[in-house]
């Protein structure tokens, strides 16, 4: 899973990220779509290389999602730097949003075609807005909601 440092205005990094998940939507297109970003959520599980980079629990609470023209961009924090994991629509096998559990977190899972996955926790208060964002943006065969017992 590719992890990019997008903290700085580096044209090489911007071209690489835009090449994978497309350019961001313009302001008016974002308004017409009803928004292209999410509230913050929490990182629960990821491949070892990402977990080693984001080693502090404080940083795992600052994740967000941006819908782009060619895919999704997940933003993560590592101390003072912003990291990104881009997903192309063709590389994304499935996205699952579960129902909230006893800790008031709903699991959100991104599964790549290679088998790698990212698991996040979405607070119950933001579950509806996350569901609307993903339902509007993702192809219908790649997104589903599940009960907590299906995990």
The residue among 50, 62, 68 whose CA lies nearest residue 133 is 68
Cα dihedral 115→131→125→40 (10° resolution):
50
The pLDDT of residue 57 is 80
Please check the confidence at residue 149 and state whether its pLDDT lies above 60: no
Contacts of residue 78, Cβ cutoff 8 Å, sequence gap at least 6:
53, 54, 59
The pLDDT of residue 37 is 92
* Whole-number Å distance between alpha carbons of 79 and 5: 12
* Whole-number Å distance between alpha carbons of 78 and 88: 23
The pLDDT of residue 23 is 95
DSSP letters of 30-73?
HHHHT-SB---BEEEE--HHHHHHS--TTGGG-BEEEEETTEEE
7-27 per-position pLDDT tens digit: 999 999 999 999 999 999 999
Please check the confidence at residue 150 and state whether its pLDDT lies above 90: no
29-75 per-position pLDDT tens digit: 999 999 999 999 999 999 988 988 888 888 888 899 999 999 999 99
The pLDDT of residue 147 is 64
84-143 per-position pLDDT tens digit: 999 999 999 999 999 988 888 999 999 998 999 999 999 999 999 999 999 999 988 899
Please check the confidence at residue 151 and state whether its pLDDT lies above 60: no
The pLDDT of residue 139 is 86
The pLDDT of residue 16 is 96
Q: Where are the domains of the chain?
A: 4-89+127-139
In the DSSP assignment, the letter for residue 24 is P
């Amino acid at each position: 899973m590719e992890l990019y440092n997008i903290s700085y205005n580096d044209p090489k990094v911007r071209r690489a990220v835009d090449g994978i998940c497309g350019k961001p939507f313009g302001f008016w297109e974002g308004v017409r779509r009803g928004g292209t970003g999410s509230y913050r959520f929490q990182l629960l599980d990821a491949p070892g290389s990402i977990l080693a980079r984001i080693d502090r629990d404080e940083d795992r609470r600052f994740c967000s999602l941006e819908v782009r023209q060619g895919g999704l961009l997940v933003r993560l924090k590592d101390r003072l730097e912003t990291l990104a994991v881009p997903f192309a629509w063709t590389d994304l096998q499935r996205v699952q949003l579960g129902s909230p559990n006893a800790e008031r977190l709903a699991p959100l899972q991104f599964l790549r075609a290679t088998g790698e996955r990212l698991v996040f926790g979405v607070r119950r208060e933001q579950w509806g807005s996350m569901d609307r964002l993903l339902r509007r943006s993702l192809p219908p065969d790649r997104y589903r909601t599940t009960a907590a017992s299906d995990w």
